[in-house]
Amino acid sequence: MMGISFIKRLVAITLLAVLVMVAAGCGEEEKGPFRIGVMESVTGAGETYGTVAVQAKQLAVDEINEAGGINGRLLELVVEDSKCNAQDAITAYNKLTDVDEVKIILGTSCSGAMLGAAPLAEREGVVMFSGLATNPDIAEAGDYIFRTSLSDATVGVDTGNVLWADGIRNLATINESTDYAEGVRRTTTAQFEKLGGQIVAAESYPTDTTDFRTQLSKLLNATPDAVHVASQAEASGGTILKQLRELGYDGPIYADVVPIGTTALEIAGDAATGVKAITPDLDPANAKAQEVLAAFKEKYDYVTLPWFLGSAYDNIYITAECLKKTGDDQDADGFRDCLYDITWSGTIGDNYSFDEKGEVVGLANAVLEVLPVAERTEENGGYRVLGAAPSN
Partner 1 sequence: MSIASAPIRGLQEVARDPRSWWRRSKGSVELWANLIVLGWALVFMLWRGGGFAVTVGSVFAIWAVLAVSLNLVVGYTGLLSVGHIGFFGIGAYAMAVLTSSASYEQLRTEAIPTFGWPFFAALPISVVLAGLVALVVGIAFNRFRDDIYVLVSFGFAVIAFTTFLSWRNLTRGAFGIHQVARPAIGPVVFDGELEFLALLLVFLGLVVLISWLIVTSSFGRVLTAIREDEEAIEVFGYRTTHYKLAIWVISAMMAGLAGALLASWSTFIDPNSFVLLESVLLVSIVILGGLASIWGSLLGALAFVMLEEGMRFVPFLPSEFIGQIRQVILGILLVLLMLFRPQGLVGRFKL
Q: Given the rule CB under 8 A, which residues bind partner 1? A: 3-4, 14, 17-18, 21, 38, 42-43, 45, 50-51, 54-55, 58, 77, 79-81, 83-87, 90-91, 94-95, 97-99, 112, 115-116, 119, 135-137, 139-140, 153, 177-180, 182-183, 186-187, 190, 204, 206
Handedness of CA 375, 380, 381, 386 (dihedral sign): negative
Alpha-carbon span 269 to 132, nearest angstrom: 27
For the bound state, the minimum distance from the C-beta of residue 98 to partner 1, rounded and expressed in Å, comes to 3
CB of 204 to partner 1, least distance (A): 8
Nearer to partner 1, 315 or 326 (CB): 315
80 vs 256, beta carbon nearer partner 1: 80
Shorter beta-carbon distance to partner 1: residue 41 or 243:
41
> For 269, phi and psi rounded to 5 degrees?
60, -135
Looking at beta carbons only, is 85 or 170 nearer to partner 1? Answer: 85
Shortest distance, position 274 Cβ to partner 1, whole Å: 29
Closest CA relative to residue 279, chosen from 258, 309, 296: 258
Separation CA 337–CA 389 (nearest Å): 31
Half-sphere exposure of 116 (CA within 13 A, CB side): 22
Work out the angle between the directed axes of helices 306-326 and 47-66 (0-180°, nearest 10): 40
CB of 105 to partner 1, least distance (A): 14
Identify the sign of the CA torsion 181, 187, 191, 194: positive
Dihedral over alpha carbons 366, 176, 234, 270 (to 10 degrees): -80
* Nearest distance from C-beta of residue 206 to partner 1, angstroms: 6
- Which secondary structure element, helix H or strand E, spans residue 200, and what is its range? strand 198-205
Whole-number Å distance between alpha carbons of 291 and 238: 29
Nearer to partner 1, 89 or 226 (CB): 89
- CA distance to 164, 258, 259, 368, per residue, from 157 (Å): 11, 17, 19, 16
CB of 385 to partner 1, least distance (A): 27
Which one, 58 or 243, has the nearer CB to partner 1? 58
* Alpha helices (H) along the chain: 2-26, 47-66, 86-94, 111-124, 152-165, 179-195, 213-221, 234-246, 262-268, 287-300, 306-326, 332-341
Shortest spacing between CB 94 and partner 1, in angstroms: 4
Q: What's the min distance (Å) between Cβ of 350 and partner 1?
A: 27
Nearer to partner 1 among residue 111 and residue 243 (C-beta): 111
Q: Which is nearer to partner 1, 295 or 385 (CB)?
A: 295
Q: How many residues are there in the chain?
A: 392
- 3-class secondary-structure state, position 279: strand
- Asked if 286 and 200 touch (Cβ cutoff 8 Å), the reply is no
31 CB-near residues (< 8 Å, 6+ apart): 73
Q: CB of 186: closest distance to partner 1 in angstroms?
A: 7
Alpha-carbon Rg for the chain, nearest whole angstrom, is 23
Looking at the Cβ atoms of 169 and 186, the one nearer to partner 1 is 186
